[in-house]
Amino acid sequence: MRSDLMKKGLERAPHRSLFKAMGYNDEELSRPMIGVVNSANEIIPGHVHLDIIAEDAKAGIRMAGGTPVTFPVIGVCDGIAMGHTGMKYSLASRELIADSIEIMATAHPFDGLMMITNCDKIVPGMLMAALRLNIPTIVVSGGPMLAGTRDGKMVDLISVFEGVGKVKSGKITQKELKALEDCACPGCGSCSGMFTANSMNCVTEALGLGLPGNGTIPAIDAARRRLAKKAGMQIMSLVNKDIRPRDIATLDAFKNAIAVDMALGCSTNTVLHIPAIAHEAGITLDLDLFNEISEKTPNICYLSPAGPHHLEDLHQAGGIQSVMKEISTIGTIHLDSLTVTGKTVRDNLKGVTVNRRDVIRSVEDPYSKEGGIAILRGNLAPDGGVVKQSAVSPDMMVNEGRARVFDSEEDAIAAILGGKIHPGDVVVIRYEGPKGGPGMREMLAPTSAIVGMGLDTSVALLTDGRFSGGTRGAAIGHISPEAAEGGPIGLIQEGDTIMIDIQKKKIELKVTKKELTRRKKTFQPKEPTIKTGYLARYSQFVTSASTGAIFKE
């Protein structure tokens, strides 16, 4: 056993003495030791109940003959960090999470790991650590929040964000916004739409590192607790058979994850996280692979923010396994990929059906023939930009408009809510990339303001920053190279014409090559605004969004 390095033999008597100081007995020390990474805290709704999930997971480990050992990691609530300096730290926390797990699981050599997780950067951070360490691991999420209800309609966090713009434009009153605020998020769990947290939980299941049900069983459902116990028992099977994350997360498995991503219409943040996770497994995923798979994979689900359904609906319809079964009929799923069940995808899908066709459409009757995400390229984004095309109005799939340029999110929000943005404008927000932000803030506030002001069918927004999974509209993020790295987005001037053609995967600044060359000669990128602390170090080591914003080697 790997854990024998810290507990077996004459020389390890001092080590055993320290374990016994914590109450472990000889029987517990003789068993395989499983590190239980628990991201519970009291600042993220998706994490407030994770101590319960962790206890259930530990019960499963004990039932199967192991000894669980819990340790924590940090987590940022993107919703609470949104719209201020705090959001600069969200993406950057992903690397700290992965690094801290590496430290804990190397300093204390566990035989296996259970990762109790939820929410935007915590899930990918844990997956990155799992593939870096490559010891038997299983991931269990805390599950999605239920949607709220208001006047007989389902609402969620994005309803509140968009409500701010509606108040500013006189569509609703502050009293109505308060009522919405009070009911949109009814309890624990990751926010109820196909936002980044749930996108990554679903990707985890599709990748094969979470058990069936991991992505969609509601947080408050007792089935979530039973899943945690089952996962606790299953990690012992993985340890005994020495099935490791890299045995599961192969290139074919990543292609499965991307295909499910496209079928669901997941968050654009998956285009940051999936390549970063693959990198830890020694696999390079080019952004063009997303377009290649999107062209073959229809968008068969219409979940918030794109459509009316939420994760509870997807779960009722059969969850991720039913989505995989449906798109496997057109050959977009690699059925022989191994999963943490110890079986292949093919085995897992036996007997799986779709229970609600209003939620999971057939591949013959999709919402669109292409997947939910598109990678755009052109002279404005030579290394790519990302858009959630499933959440774009048909009127905005091809668009040309006047650039309105802002060097920070705050300036853009002030202009939008101040009525200074008009139909036909293209809002440009730059110096918000991984290096320039630093930290690549999510732009949910400005995109929600555009929707709330009723401009989502006439105004586009592009940025070298990124968007929340809750963003909808013609919002193109991850523009690479970013402004701080001298990218063309830094050369845009107020009033320039920008052409966006999502159908042809193009984004162009309609300025001559001669003019761009002239501008570049005098262009001096702005320095990151944060000069000290972790983010200052982060800005020096982080790479482009086009490579997953991983650290330089």
Neighbours of 174 (CB within 10 A): 10
**Each residue of 432-446: b (16+ CB within 10 Å) or e?**
bbbbbbbbbbbbbbb
**Each residue of 122-136: b (16+ CB within 10 Å) or e?**
bbbbbbbbbbbbebb
Q: What is the DSSP letter of 87?
A: G
Q: Does residue 438 have a cis bond before it (omega within 30 degrees)?
A: yes
Where do the H-state alpha helices sit in 418-456?
444-452
378 has which bridge partners?
381
**Positive or negative torsion for Cα 543, 546, 547, 549:** positive
Closest of 138, 145, 101, 144 to residue 122, by C-alpha: 101
Residue type, 211: L
Neighbours of 74 (CB within 10 A): 15
- Contact call for residues 460 and 396 (beta carbons, < 8 A): yes
**Tokens of residue 138, six digits:** 């299983």
Rounded Cα distance, 9 and 418, in Å: 71
Q: Is 468 a catalytic residue?
A: yes
SS (H, E, C) 503-517: CCCEEEECCCHHHHH
Q: What is the DSSP letter of 526?
A: P
- Contact call for residues 324 and 256 (beta carbons, < 8 A): yes
Which of these is catalytic: 192, 294, 468, 480?
468
- Contact call for residues 293 and 259 (beta carbons, < 8 A): yes
The residues annotated with a catalytic role in the active site are: 468
